[in-house]
Amino acid sequence: MKSKNLSLLFILLSSNISLAIAQDEKKPSLERGIYFGEKPKEKKTKLKQKTEKELLMELVEIAKQQLKEQKRIREILENEFDPKPKEITLEDGTKCIENSSDKCFSMPIIPEIRGIPAIANFYKNPTKENAKIKELWMAKYTSRILDGAYISNQAIREMGDKYPLARMQTGSYDKAGAYNVALKRYKKEIVNKFADRIIVDIFFGKNRGLDAFSMLKLIEFIEENPKLKMNFIFFDKKSQLWFEKQASNFTRGKVLLTKEYFIDSDSFKKYHIYNTPAILIEDHINKKTSLINIGAINSYIFYDKVIQYLIHNKIIKRNEFRADKVWGSEAAKDYMNTYYKHIIGVKYEK
């Protein structure tokens, strides 16, 4: 009897537990989801299968669009790189090849202008109304350019010595040429700072006319730069003897006879010197040689060419030649001493 009661009790308890679990599953729980072993229910979607006919129609449509685009691209490329003459109809109804004669004239318009209708329409049809539209557009464009230039100048002024290019500000130069004199002296000052690292080789003998024309300027240059080491290199003995004879005719020409003379036709070939005078720089620090000038010699040319070499080889920076650096140099102070003494008539206080 007791065993029957126990069996009945077990059945009742099992039923209650199953009922409780079923009810609990209906309630929301934090311990549910893929992280607790549950698998998401997959929704079965039925894809519509396209027929072969529909797929072929789509491919045909895509091919048509591609062909249309390829034709457009070909027209653009031909118009840009291989333009073909076009047939146009004149006002009297006759047809002719565009721009084949003055009678078959059609205003040619470059691609850049074609993209600006305000200008292109005027060239195609130059009426007063189209001219107004063009000029108003051009005025707007010019104003924008000027606004950009103004603000760019403002930015450069604020950058000062951080701006990498040389800059000559308004007010730093005058019509009398004072700035140019100061600048030349400043360039001379810079070049002579490197007198211990460079040798200047000057070639003669390929063009007697230019050699003779440059001689006086060369004398002046040597007198201005006594620290620079210079060698004179001649194409042959004949050109050397002529040069010495001509130099001796100058009162100041003796300075030309103080330099070291060499006859070296091989160097003419090596450096492709086809005309003289020519200037070659030997840089002992960089262990480089550079042909910096062929033709007439004067101090302006020489300083500019040497400075270009120094800048190109990153020995000095371009902004070393800003106007404020020029006017603040010792060279400018020397010039102002002369300027105050002879032009203004008072002492210049350094």
Q: Which residues contact 35 (CB under 8 A, 6 or more apart)?
A: none
Top-ranked range on mean pLDDT: pick from 75-79, 94-98, 296-300, 321-325? 94-98
Which residue has 């007791």 as its token pair? Answer: 2
The pair of structure tokens assigned to 8 is 């009945």
pLDDT at 34 over 90: no
Q: Which of 17-31, 164-178, 195-209, 278-292 has the lowest mean pLDDT?
A: 17-31
Distance CA 123, CA 116 (A): 11
**pTM for the whole structure:** 0.61
pLDDT at 312: 92
End-to-end CA distance of the chain: 133
Q: Are the C-beta atoms of 242 and 208 separated by less than 8 Å?
A: yes
Per-residue pLDDT of 150-189, as tens digits, reads: 899 889 888 888 888 887 666 666 766 788 888 888 999 9
H runs (alpha helix) in the chain = 2-26, 52-81, 111-114, 117-124, 128-159, 178-192, 208-224, 237-247, 265-270, 299-312, 323-327, 330-339
| Mean pLDDT value of segment 75-100 | 82
Q: Pick the residue with more confidence: 50 or 119?
A: 119
Q: Which of 26-35, 99-108, 186-195 has the lowest mean pLDDT?
A: 26-35
pLDDT at 12 over 50: no
Distance CA 330, CA 224 (A): 16
The pair of structure tokens assigned to 346 is 């008072």
DSSP 231: E
| Mean pLDDT value of segment 226-250 | 93
The pair of structure tokens assigned to 110 is 């470059």
Distance CA 298, CA 199 (A): 17
| Percent of the chain at pLDDT exceeding 90 | 37
pLDDT at 300: 85
Q: Are the C-beta atoms of 335 and 341 separated by less than 8 Å?
A: no
pLDDT tier at 147, thresholds 50, 70, 90: very high
pLDDT at 216 over 70: yes
pLDDT at 268: 95
The pair of structure tokens assigned to 117 is 């209708």
Closest CA to 118 of 138, 142, 129, 134: 134
